[in-house]
Structure 1
Amino acid sequence: MKTKSLNSSTVLLMAVSAAIIVANINYIQPIEADIAQQFNLANSVVGAVAMLTQLGYAFGLLLIVPMGDIMNRRTLILRLLSLAIISAMLAFVAPNIWVYAAASLLIGITSVAPQVIIPYAGFLAPDGQRGRVLGNVLSGLLVGVLLSRTVSGVLASVLPWQAVYLIAAVMIALLGLVLVKKLPRDPVTNHQTTYRAMIKTVPRLVKKYPVLRASAVNGFVLFGVSNIFWATLVFYLQHQYHWGSREAGLLALLGVTGVLAAPLIGRLADQFKPRTIIGLGLVLSTVAYVVFLTFGTHLAGLIVGIVILDLGTQFGQVANQARVQSIDPRASSRFNSVFMFGYFMGGALGSFFGNLLWDFAGWQGVCVLGFIVLVAGFYAHFVHYPHVVRKRTQQAS
């Protein structure tokens, strides 16, 4: 094996790459109302289409990301970028909801490259700096989530909403040209396991490591409650303020707090038990929903709640990634795929049931759903998994 290396410019490139690629799966959230209007659909139907993107991402995590443990990761990332361009263009030219739904599913499946980049960064990082490096790369991921909502919402207010996907395809193509020249070569050259044999190890890893199961459940909860809010925000703004996609996108900029906090959270995960940081993420997310329910009818309350919710999500994301990537570097991609599969399954179901509750019970129903999911999260974190130990010395495959 060649010597591992990771410098600050490489970390920055990985963070920017994660931002541009992950943006694809979030463009739909601020423009759901526009899509519903154009295709004459109920909000819950568009919510189901948004769920397809999250589900596609989840299954891409489960079936594609583990390939990073058995093949050249640089090659895998570049191939995924090519497929992501095709998927975005399909969404751009979609003539009806059925084609757009298929494109949404493919966008989710082909946008998993950041989840190959993240464990790659963790693999290249020195042990004492892994949390900081992952925090920086994850801050790029959050920037992508943040700006995707803003860019999508603002563009859809002045251009046809389909233009968002054309611009996305162009950005990914430009990124691909940069990565061909700048992305580090994979130092691992002796991959010997087949895809089939590698996939068979994933259930065994889940069974073997309680910390992996705990992280997947926690990710399910925290991203689930995040998407319950973001998937329904544009409808709430229409109802409460007669606002649209532009205002929903601009409110997403408040997530900059989470971006700025990510490197700090990474350092905290290096210094303290990640489990403590994760518990704080659950607390912050709960406080956010208290603010939404109590003061959500006021713009100031909505703003405060968004900041707290994004912080809670980021606390859980960074700390969970730090402890998952510390289990065994030989299976880092598989560990990441399991964790992020749980994460995005929570996001997919959060989007779907958030829209469903909005149609049936309005804003209060959405907030109650968030509380129910968070109660399950507290139970899992403090009761079902009261203490998990990382087994770094055990064989991972």
Structure 2
Amino acid sequence: MSPSASDRHPHYSRATLWLLATIAGVSVANIYFNQPLLDDFRASFPANAWLIGAVPAATQLGYAFGMFFLAPLGDRFDRRLLILLQLAALGVALIAATAAPTLSVLIAASLAIGVVATIAQQAVPFAAELAPAAQRGHAVGTVMSGLLLGILLARTVSGFVGQYFGWRAVFGASVVATIVLAVVVITRLPKSRPTSTLAYGKLLGSMWHLVLENPGLRESSLTGGAMFAAFSIFWSVLTLLLAGEPFHMGPQAAGLFGIVGAAGALAAPLAGKSADKRGPRAVISLSIALVAVSFVIFALSGRSIAGLVIGVIVLDIGVQAAQISNQSRIYALKPDARSRVNTVYMVAYFIGGAVGSAVASFAWHALGWTGVCLAGLAATGLAGFSHWRGRVEIASQAE
């Protein structure tokens, strides 16, 4: 980092970036901890076994709610304060889940966990704010690597702890991690500068105007949503593929693929650096091509673990590189509204993921693994079309 950059951005440092990455990873992991524990929940609450699926559903619903209603506050208030308040609320919700005497309490606690675990949506824009423009992609990539590792490894860690210590120990361990993280935030994380004075209602309403006024935000959101749809199409049915011929593997095997997918998370900072040097558009183009190649590999690997492993690595690198580059783009569009543009983008991103999961289920039952791969290629094609159309619009405006 050059001295001039350090002078203009005194709080930008490697240590701060990795702290933000840790905040993002630890917080978002709470969204996925419950997924490998459904059988354990069923054993603890046999009278309400038919409602077990409401636990992860409530968590995801809460996350969507928190992303829309809490994440934009980062433009209005000090993000450090918001992170601390959400960590405190997360600790309370996790304690409630740990001690839940009934399934109803566990579902309610899971909803609350989802709402306040959106801390990651403060950490990523915070990194973009702290970094000088020439290093913004690298900063976002570093923090996103923590978030992605949290997503990919949460199920593996949860399954291991749950198997040997019980499901309550998973939430209890997360309480301890949350308390430690809050102490580090108090002592190490700098304050941020609010960039908006809008009232809360107007702050939320302004997101619609940001969509209308910024074609780059619309393009990035559609491209990102389509890429995450492709990602979800694969991961939603991997367990079903591994359970059948010729693999006959259980859900733990699918969880281990998350460790393989961590390659994509580790590549995130490199993708950010590439976006800084070559521009995000070039990286996104390459990323779309990689995802398309991954589904070709998957189509040829319906009976090959080695092929699936290679495909997962290519898929995750492609999706995560596109994610970093898209976010690097949108944070430059409206520097005084980074939390709100991030909210718009991430809402579109998760809508894409939900649609991808639904499409995957239909494709699997209709055409099997071949149908899943075709659906993944179709989602990738939509991302490519959105990206191409955005390039054409920019060229026409330049003329």
Task: Say whether residues 1:386 and 2:394 are aligned partners.
Answer: no
Which deviations, in whole Å up to 9, do the C-alpha atoms of 1:27-63 show, x marking residues without a partner? Answer: 344456766788789xx99778645544432332222
Give the whole-Å Cα distance in 2 for the aligned partners of 1:183 and 1:31.
33
Give the whole-Å Cα distance in 2 for the aligned partners of 1:281 and 1:48.
35
Q: Which amino acid aligns with 2:233?
A: I
CA drift at 1:174: 1.7
Give the unaligned 5+ runs of structure 1: 391-397
Q: What's 1:393 paired with? A: none
Give the whole-Å Cα distance in 1 for the aligned partners of 2:375 and 2:326.
23
- Seen in structure 2, the aligned counterparts of structure 1 residues 50 and 297 have a Cα distance that, compared at 3 Å, is farther
SS in 1 for 2:274: helix
Q: Which residues in structure 2 correspond to 1:133-148 (within 5 Å)?
A: 133-148=139-154
Which deviations, in whole Å up to 9, do the C-alpha atoms of 1:110-159 show, x marking residues without a partner? Answer: 11111111111111111111111111111111221222132123334434
Task: Say whether residues 1:301 and 2:300 are aligned partners.
Answer: no
- Seen in structure 2, the aligned counterparts of structure 1 residues 84 and 357 have a Cα distance that, compared at 3 Å, is farther
- Greater length-normalized contact order (CA 8 Å, ≥ 6 residues apart): 1
Give the stretch that moved more between structures: 191-200 or 310-319.
191-200
Q: What's 1:195 paired with? A: 200
Percent identity between the two aligned chains? 38
Task: Say whether residues 1:244 and 2:242 are aligned partners.
Answer: no
Match among 185, 199, 206 for residue 211 of structure 2: 206
Task: Say whether residues 1:121 and 2:127 are aligned partners.
Answer: yes
Q: What's 1:317 paired with? A: 323
- Seen in structure 2, the aligned counterparts of structure 1 residues 83 and 238 have a Cα distance that, compared at 3 Å, is farther
Task: Say whether residues 1:230 and 2:235 are aligned partners.
Answer: yes
Q: What's 1:169 paired with? A: 175
Answer yes or no: is the 8 Å Cα contact 1:135–1:266 preserved in 2.
yes
Answer yes or no: is the 8 Å Cα contact 2:195–2:336 preserved in 1.
no
RMSD: 3.1
- Seen in structure 2, the aligned counterparts of structure 1 residues 105 and 215 have a Cα distance that, compared at 3 Å, is farther
Give the whole-Å Cα distance in 2 for the aligned partners of 1:89 and 1:353.
36
Match among 365, 377, 381 for residue 371 of structure 1: 377
Answer yes or no: is the 8 Å Cα contact 2:125–2:342 preserved in 1.
yes
Give the stretch that moved more between structures: 365-374 or 350-359.
350-359
Task: Say whether residues 1:11 and 2:17 are aligned partners.
Answer: yes
Give the stretch that moved more between structures: 224-233 or 264-273.
224-233
Give the whole-Å Cα distance in 2 for the aligned partners of 1:91 and 1:353.
32
Aligned length, in residue pairs = 386
Task: Say whether residues 1:345 and 2:351 are aligned partners.
Answer: yes
Q: Which residues in structure 2 correspond to 1:258-277 (within 5 Å)?
A: 258-277=264-283
Give the whole-Å Cα distance in 1 for the aligned partners of 2:167 and 2:361.
20
Q: What's 1:218 paired with? A: 223
Q: Which amino acid aligns with 1:333?
A: S
Match among 154, 160, 163 for residue 154 of structure 1: 160
Give the whole-Å Cα distance in 2 for the aligned partners of 1:36 and 1:283.
42
Give the unaligned 5+ runs of structure 2: 1-6
